[in-house]
């Protein structure tokens, strides 16, 4: 029997991260996924051109919205997520912005907690309101009834992060999904900090999952990329989404009903927003994301192991006043983390320093191993002062709602020898 591992849903996660979605027989038997560095593709015969442009046939015509390298990545991600349809995008922000555009039109609202990545907050507080789309911020990210109370006739979705940025607060995805579904709106989960290895939000009722693939999926700080994955099956024709309904009515002539209806969100995202706004991932980037994904589970195991050790070290350090990491028994998210993150609640730790802003500055200026940069999810360990970088420019009350204070430092724990990381933090923490 010939090689079949590209198409076997029974395989384990680590096997799938190496094999899913790529059949060498379709690519001249190349074992590495080829980079199709091509702006446009031969349409073939005249009728095929028509089929491609009406989307009746799946294929590639132009790399602003489709490319064979990206399609391997999209299939691999859908497989790792436990099914569905994926769309690769130019960045995590491109994924989030295009998801909002696809969900909502002028007059609509998206319900969110305040504990989000700063860029997403800016989209919903400053950019989208200019076009009539409003972010409705729930006062308490942990209060499920607050999400439900915020949903009105104008709501088109609830958007959360599975592990919040920067404090790794754990969202009760199942309860939030139930609340959203009671009102006919989808739950979208930014699963960047968790990755599908640590958590698959579809298993708890999420409808769409998105990533900054810049982080753990790429894994080495060498690219900017984003991905959106749709579980399939949310009823987009329930009356809340006239723009999706119009799209359905236009395309039903060409695309089989089952696939169109099941993945209506992804199809419209691709055929409308990628086609005309063009924030697709480059095929070279898709290749590098695929390379990163090949070792995802192995890296994540080491990331969470190191993070747990470092969180424990920080929690007992006299210079530290507070540590936010859901793997610590004192964390308000400890029980939730045990349920949602049996393999470990990620590797982003934020902590506050007794010495205030000056102590945070001193620490960042004196670490020798941690890199001072705004990224997370690199194999290498990184450190940042959130108030003057990722959350810079947000009003103080917005920063504080996100758990960012002037004495807060965030680290993204890498896969180095943990003893070296602890030694480095210890020598730079001013007592």
Beta carbon of residue 288, minimum distance to ligand PLP (angstroms, whole number): 13
Find where tokens 């924030």 sit: 279
160's tokens: 């959360």
Site for ligand PLP in 358-377 (CB under 6 A): 376
Site for ligand PLP in 82-101 (CB under 6 A): 91-93
Minimum CB distance to ligand PLP smaller for 138 or for 225? 225
Beta carbon of residue 192, minimum distance to ligand PLP (angstroms, whole number): 4
192 is a contact residue toward ligand PLP (CB under 6 A):
yes
Minimum CB distance to ligand PLP smaller for 70 or for 212? 212
* Per-residue contact string for residues 274-293; x = within reach of ligand PLP by CB under 6 A: --------------------
Site for ligand PLP in 194-223 (CB under 6 A): 212, 214
- Partners of 400 in the β-ladder: none
Contact 231, 210 (CB under 8 A): no
Beta carbon of residue 35, minimum distance to ligand PLP (angstroms, whole number): 20
- CB proximity list for 41: less than 8 A, separation 6 or greater: 59, 60, 61, 62
Count of positions on this chain that bind ligand PLP (CB under 6 A): 14
- C-alpha torsion 165→168→174→176, nearest 10: -40
Minimum CB distance to ligand PLP smaller for 314 or for 376? 376
119 is a contact residue toward ligand PLP (CB under 6 A):
yes
Contact 196, 206 (CB under 8 A): no
353's tokens: 């320093």
Minimum CB distance to ligand PLP smaller for 241 or for 341? 341
Compute the distance between CA of residue 101 and CA of residue 244 in angstroms, rounded to an integer. Answer: 11
| The binder of ligand PLP chosen from 224, 237, 364, 369 (CB under 6 A) | 224
Q: Order of strands across the sheet with 371-372?
A: 320-324, 348-353, 408-412, 382-384, 371-372
Instruction: Using DSSP, state whether 316 is helix, strand or coil.
Output: coil
Compute the distance between CA of residue 306 and CA of residue 77 in angstroms, rounded to an integer. Answer: 26
Minimum CB distance to ligand PLP smaller for 344 or for 355? 344
Compute the distance between CA of residue 314 and CA of residue 295 in angstroms, rounded to an integer. Answer: 28
Which residues contribute to the site for ligand PLP (CB under 6 A)?
91-93, 117, 119, 161, 165, 190, 192, 212, 214, 224, 226, 376
């Amino acid at each position: 029997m010939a090689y079949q591992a590209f198409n076997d849903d029974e395989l384990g996660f680590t096997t799938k991260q190496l094999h899913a979605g790529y059949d060498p027989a379709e690519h001249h038997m190349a074992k590495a996924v080829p980079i199709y560095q091509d702006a446009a593709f031969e349409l073939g015969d005249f009728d095929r051109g028509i089929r491609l442009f009406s989307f009746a046939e799946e294929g590639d015509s132009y790399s602003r919205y489709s490319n064979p390298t990206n399609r391997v990545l999209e299939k691999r991600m859908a497989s790792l997520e436990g099914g569905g349809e994926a769309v690769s995008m130019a960045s995590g922000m491109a994924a989030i912005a295009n998801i909002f555009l696809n969900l909502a039109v002028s007059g609509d609202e998206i319900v969110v907690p305040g504990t989000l990545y700063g860029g997403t907050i800016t989209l919903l507080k400053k950019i989208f309101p200019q076009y009539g789309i409003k972010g409705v911020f729930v006062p308490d990210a942990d209060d499920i009834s607050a999400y439900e109370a915020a949903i009105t006739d104008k709501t088109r979705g609830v958007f959360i992060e599975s592990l919040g940025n920067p404090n790794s607060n754990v969202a009760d995805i199942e309860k939030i999904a139930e609340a959203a579904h009671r009102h006919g709106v989808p739950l979208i989960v930014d699963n960047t900090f968790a990755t599908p290895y640590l958590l698959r939000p579809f298993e708890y009722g999420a409808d769409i999952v998105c990533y900054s693939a810049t982080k753990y999926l790429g894994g080495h700080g060498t690219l900017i990329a984003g991905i959106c994955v749709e579980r399939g099956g949310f009823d987009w024709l329930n009356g809340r989404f006239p723009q999706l309904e119009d799209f359905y009515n236009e395309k039903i002539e060409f695309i089989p009903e089952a696939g169109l209806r099941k993945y209506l969100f992804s199809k419209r995202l691709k055929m409308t927003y990628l086609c005309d706004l063009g924030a697709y991932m480059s095929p070279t980037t898709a290749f590098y994301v695929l390379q990163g994904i090949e070792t995802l589970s192995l890296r994540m195991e080491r990331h969470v192991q190191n993070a747990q050790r470092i969180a424990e070290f920080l929690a007992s350090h006299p210079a530290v006043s507070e540590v936010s990491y859901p793997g610590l028994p004192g964390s308000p998210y400890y029980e939730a983390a045990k349920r949602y993150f049996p393999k470990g609640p990620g590797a982003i730790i934020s902590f506050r320093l007794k010495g205030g802003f000056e102590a945070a500055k001193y620490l960042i200026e004196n670490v020798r191993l941690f890199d001072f940069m705004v990224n997370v999810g690199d194999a290498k360990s990184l450190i940042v002062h959130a108030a003057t970088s990722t959350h810079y420019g947000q009003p103080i009350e917005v920063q504080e709602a996100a758990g960012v204070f002037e004495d807060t430092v965030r680290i993204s724990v890498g896969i180095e020898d943990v003893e070296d990381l602890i030694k480095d933090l210890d020598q730079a923490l001013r007592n």
